[in-house]
């Protein structure tokens, strides 16, 4: 989320949200992970959405007047295709469905449908509330709105069909942001938090957490808004990619199952 709206007070907001996050994150050990590989990433990209499809990354960026959808070469980080999202829209999450790319915007209740091949516009759709993240499970489009709720949308009509509330130890987990569907779980970045929540889509329970704090430091980003945001899963080769807003790097990580015995800390593969 969302920068210029609070530009004058963002340091106070960041501190407040960081303190709030201390009560939302788990008391137990996080899911362990290993860093596999590092790729370049556009450090000017205010990353809002990310997915992997047929050998390329697809990314959405935010900020009014700077919002885009992009096709990006994984190894070089070079933008292959791009489409600007016009003012006054603030771009948010994206997802693919068949030959389409679907995107949402922050506060204008406006979604867009694009041709996945060349990003030409296809149609628009409306929704209530805010738009944050998008993913799909092969049957539904799944959307976050900054609260603890996830919406399930019909992929053809984009009408809402149901919702679940995400919780951990009985408490709602809000600020759900960028989403990715990984091996039967919904993964969600938490705005202004280094954790990814691993969510059971059947009931909304958080199964476990992944802490990306070491990668925030490794990204080289220094802006207050440079939070972890962006998860992409390559199902064919079982690869997971993560990045953040204004990060100069995109990371491939390997995550152990939620019930695996955790090591003392994440480690770089030699």
Alpha helices, DSSP H only, in 65-150? Answer: none
CATH code for the structural domain at 4-258: 2.40.128.630
Tell me the two tokens of residue 197.
């929540």
Q: How far is CA 49 from CA 45, 88, 120, in A?
A: 11, 19, 18
Pairing of strands 134-136, 121-126: unpaired
Helices and strands of the chain, counted as H and E runs: 2, 23
Q: What is the pTM of this model?
A: 0.86
E strand or H helix that includes residue 15:
helix 10-21
Tell me how far apart the alpha carbons of residues 203 and 216 are, in angstroms, rounded to a whole number: 30
Whether residue 266 has pLDDT greater than 50: no
Tell me how far apart the alpha carbons of residues 178 and 186 are, in angstroms, rounded to a whole number: 10
At residue 257, the pLDDT reads: 73
Domains in the chain: boundaries: 4-258
Residue among 104, 207, 108 nearest 151 (CA) = 104
Tell me the two tokens of residue 77.
């980080």
At residue 29 the predicted structure's pLDDT band, cuts being 50, 70 and 90, is low
At residue 30, the pLDDT reads: 77
Tell me how far apart the alpha carbons of residues 198 and 253 are, in angstroms, rounded to a whole number: 15
Whether residue 6 has pLDDT greater than 70: no
Which residues are registered as beta bridge partners of 103?
A: 94, 112
Mean pLDDT in residue range 216-220:
89
Whether residue 2 has pLDDT greater than 70: no
Q: What percentage of the chain has pLDDT greater than the value 70?
A: 84
Does residue 145 contact residue 130 with C-beta atoms inside 8 Å? yes
Mean pLDDT in residue range 193-206:
96
Query: Using one digit for the tens of pLDDT, what is the confidence trace for 34-78?
Result: 999 999 999 999 999 999 999 999 999 999 999 999 999 999 999
Q: Which residue has the tokens 């007070």?
A: 9
Whether residue 265 has pLDDT greater than 90: no
């Amino acid at each position: 989320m969302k920068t210029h709206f609070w530009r004058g007070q963002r340091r106070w907001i960041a501190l407040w949200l960081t303190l709030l996050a201390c009560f939302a994150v788990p008391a137990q050990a996080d899911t362990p992970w290993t860093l596999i590989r590092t790729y370049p990433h556009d450090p000017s990209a205010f990353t809002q959405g990310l997915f992997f499809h047929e050998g390329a990354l697809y990314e959405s960026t935010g900020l009014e007047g700077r919002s885009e959808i992009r096709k990006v070469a994984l190894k070089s980080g070079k933008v292959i295709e791009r489409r600007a999202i016009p003012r006054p829209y603030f771009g948010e999450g994206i997802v693919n469905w068949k030959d389409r790319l679907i995107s949402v915007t922050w506060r204008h209740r406006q979604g867009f449908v694009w041709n996945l091949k060349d990003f030409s516009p296809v149609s628009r759709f409306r929704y209530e509330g805010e738009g944050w993240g998008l993913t799909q499970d092969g049957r539904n489009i799944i959307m976050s709105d900054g609260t603890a709720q996830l919406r399930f949308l019909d992929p053809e009509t984009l009408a809402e069909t149901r919702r679940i509330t995400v919780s951990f130890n009985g408490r709602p987990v809000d600020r759900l942001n960028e989403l990715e569907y990984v091996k039967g779980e919904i993964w969600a970045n938490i705005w202004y938090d280094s954790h990814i929540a691993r969510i059971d889509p059947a009931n909304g329970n958080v199964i476990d957490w992944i802490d990306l704090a070491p990668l925030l430091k490794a990204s080289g980003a220094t802006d207050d808004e440079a939070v972890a945001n962006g998860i992409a899963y390559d199902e064919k080769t079982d690869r997971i990619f993560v990045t953040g807003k204004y990060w100069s790097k995109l990371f491939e990580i390997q995550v152990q199952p939620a019930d695996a015995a955790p090591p003392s800390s994440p480690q770089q593969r030699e």
